Structure 1
């Protein structure tokens, strides 16, 4: 049966991605991800946990940290040149590694992503959009599969109505919500590592992590794992 599955996958042009994952090095996250990390050759979708720009910026920086831990150039496609280079560096991503592709329309952002993914040989391809349509997500997924590229989409919103679109079906392998939390307290007054809440939508898990350091790595603070969405709701209502 295993040989038959391999033959079918070969006929369909599907490349086995076993072992081709980018782990976070945090067991609470890697344990719930297929393959133990973010699969290369797949599309992964990120968004701020709320409609505000602060959470949106946190999602972009989290993606920058992911990209920082890859090898090779990063193509970052967007409509607004509003990325703050020192913040990227703080998340571990050197701006010299990034090729920025600016477009007037989101349709062109998605098209640029697809072309970059089809080129191959890149550390990651990132795109910032307000909404990721199902058809576009399928095209990105197929392009990522073809070359084994890592595709990362950041959904950034300006209005609450746009935020409501997140959660609609897409072809993304994983979907993440990133929300800013108060910094972890340290013995030094007014100093603390930034923290965020990661919501792994498909796995229905939530984890509090320390924001990316200058190597793109995250860690688990003392207060870390909530578990499921329902457990978080009960905790906050108590």
Structure 2
């Protein structure tokens, strides 16, 4: 009996962490793919429409056939709010920011999401801060580190790495498979757009928690 309980606790703790790590890998892959596609001339707004149109094909049957009719009208209004915050605002801000920076900046600025979520939870009185508690101290330290990291990423880019002899490259070299830099680069603007996208994603996550409780 104790072995089964231990396995249940391990599954309950390990599986969510593994799924979150898998989601991070998928996010990194999507970010690099989006940067490569937009470098070919695709508008970030069109990219958002394409990706969400594909996801709607898979999610609409769930809302139509699985969710009960009594909850459907209430869920549709909540889904509309989720779409406004998490798609129209967050994704458009993020992909426009990506068009002005790089996937590395996108992943770095994404670290602001947990910190902003924590601050919003404190403001909305969904969580409390006890300076004598080790848990609260760690959360505050993590928030401070992520904010300092985002500011450093925005204000300090570092030296540009270039080839010593560019003439050695052929003029008709094949295009790169993955593109990590934008042709219309504006580092500060890209970081600011990512910060706003992180705020939208934090609000989006909070709304999702409320929606899951309703379902």
Larger radius of gyration: 2
Q: Same fold (TM over 0.5)?
A: no
User: For the superposition of Structure 1 and Structure 2, which TM-score range results when normalised by the shorter chain?
Assistant: under 0.3
TM-score w.r.t. the length of structure 1 is 0.22
Higher helix share: 2
